[in-house]
Amino acid sequence: MPAVVEEEGSQRLPIQRQEIFAQARARGSSNQEAWQGATRKPIGDATARNSGSRCARRPHVAARIAYLQRENATQRDTDNVARKTPVVWMQEVCQVLRDTAEAFDHLPLQKRSKLKNLYGSHLARLQKMEELQRPAPQQDRDPVWKTVVPCRCQ
């Protein structure tokens, strides 16, 4: 069975102070701020800056910081994608198509018209999607709906 190869920096650091420091650095703290947060006793700014810089230069700590930064960036990208609704996706597609159609004015008429037709169909689809997302009228709250008898001709 092949051995599992772990990415450098994926394992927690054995020294808790270094792990806390690496996590703080990965979140964007300076060496000084990260080291002050990792130590249990109050230390001066210059001492924290020097000690933090020395810790960040250690190869295993630097690898852990880099790994955590990559993980944080991946998580942010995933969160951004997950938050987008289909309407937002379609708006972005329409924007790209419109920009492309405007940028390629030098193309032959037939190709430009295909691009504009594609933009038009996506725009129509976007409008339908937006209509479906609008809330329906509140039949219980509106007294007009109570007086209207539904049609039974179908």
pLDDT for res 111: 76
pLDDT for res 145: 47
What percent of the chain stands above pLDDT 70? 76
Model confidence over 82-100: pLDDT tens digits? 666 777 777 777 777 777 7
For the chain, the structural domain boundaries read 16-83, 86-133
CA distances from 17 to 14, 43, 95, 103, 111 (A): 9, 14, 48, 54, 62
The mean pLDDT value of the chain amounts to 77
Model confidence over 101-132: pLDDT tens digits? 677 777 777 777 777 777 777 777 777 777 77
Model confidence over 25-52: pLDDT tens digits? 998 889 999 999 898 888 999 999 999 9
